[in-house]
C-alpha cells in the first residue's frame, strides 16, 4: 500500500511540474498575441496543453487544439480592435 501511495505522490509531483510549465507556456502564448486571460481561461488552456503532453493526439484532442487556436485568434482580434477603438494603437 505504501508503494502505491509513494508512486501516486511521485506522479502527482510530476503532473504539478508539468502543469506549471504548460501554464507558463499558455500564458506566454496568450500574452504574445496581446490577449489577457481570466484565471478560468488560463486553466482551460493549460488543461489542453497538459493533455497534449500526456496522451497521443487523437481526433478529439486535435479538434480541441484547433478550437483553442481559433478561439485565441478571435480573442486576439477583439483585443486589437478594442485598442484601435480606444485610440491607443499608433499607425
pTM, to two decimals: 0.75
Chain segment 31-86, per-residue pLDDT in tens: 999 999 999 999 999 999 999 999 999 999 999 999 999 999 999 988 766 655 56
91 within domain boundaries = no
37 within domain boundaries = yes
Return the H-helix or E-strand segment holding 56: none
80 within domain boundaries = yes
Helix 2-32 and helix 59-86: axis angle, to 10°? Answer: 40
pLDDT at 47: 94
Domain containing 77 equals 2-86
Amino acid at each position: 500500500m505504501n508503494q502505491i501511495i509513494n508512486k501516486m505522490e511521485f506522479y502527482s509531483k510530476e503532473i504539478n511540474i508539468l502543469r506549471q510549465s504548460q501554464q507558463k507556456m499558455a500564458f506566454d502564448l496568450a500574452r504574445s498575441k496581446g490577449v489577457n486571460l481570466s484565471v478560468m481561461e488560463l486553466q482551460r488552456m493549460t488543461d489542453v496543453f497538459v493533455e497534449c503532453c500526456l496522451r497521443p493526439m487523437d481526433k478529439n484532442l486535435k479538434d480541441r487544439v484547433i478550437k483553442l487556436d481559433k478561439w485565441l485568434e478571435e480573442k486576439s482580434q477583439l483585443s486589437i480592435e478594442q485598442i484601435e477603438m480606444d485610440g491607443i494603437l499608433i499607425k
